[in-house]
Amino acid sequence: MKNNSESDKRKLEEISGYSWEELNLLTEIDLSDKGIKKLPECLGDLNNLQKLDLRENQLATVPETIGNLTSLQELWLDGNNLNSLSETIGNLKSLKNLDLMYNQLERVPESIGNLTSLQELNLSENKLSTLPETIGNLQSLQELILRENNLSTLPETIGNLESLQSLYLFYNQLATVPESIGNLKNLQKLDFIGNNLSTLPETIGNLTNLQSLDLSGNNQGTLPETIGNLKRLKYMYLDANQLHAVPEIIGNLESLQELNIGENNLSTLPESIGNLKSLEKLYLYLNHLTHLPESIGELKSLEVLDLLENKLTCLPESIVFLKKLTHLYIDLDLLQKLSLPLKDYTKAKIHISLDQNQVELPEQCVNHVYSEWKEEWLLEFENVEHRMMWVQIFGYERIMDKLGSMTLHKEIDSSGNEMELHKIELSGKVKTDGEPEEDIVLLKVVCPSTGKIHILRVPPDMTNCEEARRWTLFDEKIVLEFAEET
């Protein structure tokens, strides 16, 4: 269906900046971000077009004549207001890339299944609740992106996409996955973040080329035994689920490099976890682990181990064999229970969590058991985070008392909370670089919204609380040093 009306042609010339004669010769047209609300019908007469960019406009529909562009290979319609697509879209038999992201689509036309040359299809951030069965006809499709829709089910025909390598389904409402997903033998990336999945079909184990599996933020209570068949899997994310156990078969994942099973209900780990010889990063935070298997020491490639917010009372002796470990995240509670200094376990950088902030421990802490830590080390720390950490661990009053500080001034702020200005005299002391130390003056204030105490370091010549408070608020060059104490 051609429309050669002069007004349509003039409109397209105006939109594009090309004459009608030039338009007929073009193989590519960029009409993106031009505020277009409606396309002229004569667009469908440009038979030489191979690439058409219409992204970031205000289109609610596209003309049916778009189906006449049989040479079109790439069509970008993302960032419009499309609420429907014409069935004629199925005539674009040469189309390889179709981007419909950021629209208002509630359905996909059945004719989509006619796009047998299509390799990439992006339908993200629409309002889709279902997909047509014909989606399974896209035999050339390699990447299918469906994130942030309202999908509650997938058609069984999804398993017909034999060329598919990447399938992104995160932030939908999927409660089940069809058995046919196991037919996607070329699939390498599978992403289910933020759905409602409680189980996976046993056929998941048929995805022998899968390299990345992301199930974060679902309701998984168990994993199928067939998960152990995924011998090429490199990245597996299972965090924020309901897992009570990890199957022994996980030890079969010989290619696994990164495993996140944080924020679950795990109390133990299988001994077979030590078989993951390629594992570089292991995240176990926010579980109920009381101990770790000795086999953890067999993870010869491990670089990062996150044990934060568990119930551990000790570290396995085998941790000393993790020679490649560079970052170890542990709770302060566990650190307090260790009978040996952390340096005897590992040469890795040690991180603890205080008020949801992760802080790397200074060398003094790594070299001594917790009972040997001293309040006066505060004066040795040049790192702001270390000073913050120290006040949180020991408490402001205790440190001030130990350091022999003097109170310079007290004052009630506008919220009725007391401010205090304290001074620690360091006159005559020398820094490690040979420069003389300055006296430390600290302002103690109470946050009116949270009620928490903040400790702010101010210049040593400050003598008045309000003066010091104003300085912390209005000096844009300062990096504030603060700590919190409940």
pLDDT of amino acid 480: 38
- Average of per-residue pLDDT across 189-198: 98
Does pLDDT of 15 surpass 90? yes
pLDDT of amino acid 399: 86
Q: Lowest-pLDDT range, 196-205, 312-321, 457-466?
A: 457-466
Tokens at 422, concatenated: 């304290």
Q: Model confidence at 379, in pLDDT bands (50, 70, 90)?
A: confident
Higher pLDDT, 435 or 460: 460
What are the tens digits of pLDDT across the range 26-39? 999 999 999 999 99
Residue 59: other Cβ atoms inside 10 A: 18
Does pLDDT of 3 surpass 70? no
Q: What is the DSSP string of 200-267?
A: --GGGGG-TT--EEE-TTS------GGGGG-TT--EEE--SS--S---GGGGG-TT--EEE--SS--S
Does pLDDT of 368 surpass 70? yes
Q: Which of 121-130, 346-355, 423-432 has the highest mean pLDDT?
A: 121-130
pLDDT of amino acid 4: 54
Q: Show me where the domains of the chain are located.
A: 395-485
pLDDT of amino acid 2: 46
Pairing between strand 51-53 and 28-30? parallel
Q: What is the mean pLDDT of the chain?
A: 92
The answer to whether the beta carbons of residues 257 and 235 sit under 8 Å apart is yes
What are the tens digits of pLDDT across the range 53-89? 999 999 999 999 999 999 999 999 999 999 999 999 9
Residues whose CB falls within 8 Å of the CB of residue 65, separated by 6 or more in sequence, listed in order:
1, 2, 3, 41, 42, 43, 44, 45, 88
Q: Model confidence at 190, in pLDDT bands (50, 70, 90)?
A: very high
Q: Model confidence at 103, in pLDDT bands (50, 70, 90)?
A: very high
pLDDT of amino acid 117: 98
What are the tens digits of pLDDT across the range 389-432? 888 899 878 888 888 889 999 999 888 888 999 988 876 666 66
Q: Model confidence at 5, in pLDDT bands (50, 70, 90)?
A: confident
pLDDT of amino acid 380: 81
Q: Model confidence at 447, in pLDDT bands (50, 70, 90)?
A: confident
Does pLDDT of 479 surpass 50? no
Higher pLDDT, 171 or 5: 171
Q: Model confidence at 96, in pLDDT bands (50, 70, 90)?
A: very high
**First-to-last C-alpha distance (Å) of the chain:** 73
Does pLDDT of 475 surpass 70? no
pLDDT of amino acid 427: 66
The answer to whether the beta carbons of residues 42 and 5 sit under 8 Å apart is yes
Does pLDDT of 195 surpass 50? yes
H or E stretch including 12?
Answer: helix 6-16
The answer to whether the beta carbons of residues 381 and 387 sit under 8 Å apart is yes
Pairing between strand 349-354 and 357-360? antiparallel
What are the tens digits of pLDDT across the range 41-55? 999 999 999 999 999
Q: Give me the percent of the chain exceeding a pLDDT of 70.
A: 95
